[in-house]
Structure formats: structure tokens, C-alpha cells
Amino acid sequence: MSEKVEPSLAVLFVCLGNICRSPMAEGAFRQAAREAGLDCRVDSVGTAGYHIGESPDPRAIATARKHGVDISGLQGRQLAPSDFEEFTHIFALDTANLAGIRSRAPRSAESQISLLLDAVPGREGQTVADPYYGDEEDFERVWRDISVAVEHVVEKLKGGG
């Protein structure tokens, strides 16, 4: 009897610098997936290469830590052509990142590319605001947006979609 082999899930979060929003999304998603028993590869990248090899912003690390998630070991990486082969789902944190991802996607790309907040009913098309020039409350707001969104994404992926 032959078994149907499903392509394994691999989720990529994309922001501009890969030091604030997308590492927070990676950490929040990893925790939500673990709690839901969803087996899934997770990573994050930036569309820009300003912070390659760097740790997340200390404010992002502190905010995630406050919510029980350690992202201090992550390292900045830039979106690469191979990401479109390796990741089944690519989530942009804002509309500029979405445009940047789409403009770099090879014709052959099969990844599902969408805006993260599209996963949240009533928030379709919205952006997770860039907190880089903001304060602690802006990072908290990012965490709130992201944690709601990743719960929806995990539910959707658990349901096969």
C-alpha cells in the first residue's frame, strides 16, 4: 500500500530588517505551533540586508521575553531565492514587504505568499506597524498583533490550509 506523502510545512515571516517584527513573529509562531502540536519548520528574514548576522533588536527580545518567548539566539538573514523553494507559506508583516517579496519571487515559486494580518478576520490588508523608530508600547502593539495572527495561522495550517 502506498502512503500519500504531504509536503512538509515550512513557514517564513518577512519584515524589512529581520530584527524587530519578523523575529517576534517567528518566536510567537514557534510557541503557538508547539502548543498546538503542529510540526512545522519556522524561520524569518528581512527584505533588506541591513542587519545580516545581527541579533534581534533588544526591545524585540525584551518584549518577547515578557511573553515567555526567547528570541535572543536568532540572527538576521536576508530573503534569498531559495526561500521560495523551501517555504510553503511566506507571511509579510507589511504591504511594502509583501510587494518586495512578490517582486523577487521566481515564476516557478509555489509558496503561498500573503500578508500576515490577512489571517485575522476583519484585519485583512492591514500592516503590522514598524516599531523600529518607536517605543516600548509600539513593540507591545506589535506583539499583540502578531500573537493574534499566529494563532489564526496555526489553526488554518492544522486544518490543512
Binding residues (CB under 6 A) for ligand 4NP: these are: 15-21, 50, 130, 132
Q: How far is the CB of 5 from ligand 4NP (least distance, A)?
A: 35
- The CA distances from residue 62 to 3, 25, 57, 67, 129, in Å, are 45, 14, 9, 9, 18
Catalytic residue list contains 21? yes
Is residue 15 annotated as a catalytic residue, yes or no? yes
Residue 91 CA from chain centroid, whole number: 5
Residue from 57, 83, 130, 145 carrying the catalytic annotation: 130
For ligand 4NP, which is the closer residue by CB, 17 or 27?
Answer: 17
CB of 46 to ligand 4NP, least distance (A): 6
Distance, in Å, from the CA atom of 30 to the CA atom of 49, rounded to the nearest integer, reads: 24
If the CB atoms of residues 31 and 46 are measured against ligand 4NP, the closer one turns out to be 46
- Decide whether 22 or 111 has the Cβ nearer to ligand 4NP: 22
Q: Which of 146, 152, 150 is nearest to 60 (CA)?
A: 146
Biggest alpha carbon–alpha carbon distance for the chain: 58
Q: Which residues are catalytic?
A: 15, 21, 130
